[in-house]
Amino acid sequence: MRHIISILVENKFGVLARIAGMFSGRGFNIETLNVGPMPDSKFSRITATIIGDSSALDQAIKQVSKLVNVLEVTEYSKGQATERELLMLKIKVEPKQRTEIVQICDIFRAKIIDVAAQSVNVEMTGNPNKIKAFLNLVEPYGVIEMARTGGVALKRG
């Protein structure tokens, strides 16, 4: 099962490694992992998408909470959070196909950020299902290169 975990930590050396090691040591697959500073640069927020058993996850969250430098751990149940990813993509495009790519980008609210003779670079944000649907449509053109952040999330309300 897929779980989104938000962890507020002190921005110190080795904290991320300890947290990632704790999850992997318990048999969880970390699907995505994002870390970014908070407005007060003494703190960072780690957002991890974890694949694993729900009952074992509860124990892992308790253990992460006990780690030094961890201030708060929140697990978002399905529907409790808004989740977004950033995707940057270089797509192979012949000049006669550009109109099609522009239309697909418009439908998904993606932005073309660079145009070259045989390719375009696209930036897009959205939930994982939107990202997947976009990738399915542009794959036939040829994906040259891709960078994807994985999910970041905030609690609703």
pLDDT tier, 3 (very low <50, low <70, confident <90, very high otherwise): confident
Q: 63 and 102: one domain?
A: no
Domain boundary among 40, 61, 78: 78
The sign of the CA dihedral 62, 63, 68, 72 is negative
pLDDT at 89: 97
Looking at the structure of the chain, the number of domains it has is: 2
Structural domain for 14, as ranges? 2-78
Per residue in 90-148, pLDDT (tens digit) is: 999 999 999 999 999 999 999 999 999 999 999 999 998 999 999 999 999 999 999 99
pLDDT at 58: 84
Cβ(103)–Cβ(44) below 8 Å: no
The CATH number covering residue 113 comes to 3.30.70.1150
Q: 6 and 67: one domain?
A: yes
CA neighbor of 131 nearest in space, from 78, 85, 81: 85
Q: 107 and 151: one domain?
A: yes
pLDDT at 77: 78
Cβ(107)–Cβ(124) below 8 Å: no
Domain boundary among 46, 78, 110: 78
Domain boundary among 78, 109, 139: 78
Q: 17 and 74: one domain?
A: yes
Q: 23 and 74: one domain?
A: yes
| Average pLDDT for the chain | 92
Q: 74 and 87: one domain?
A: no
Hey, what are 4's tokens?
A: 């989104």
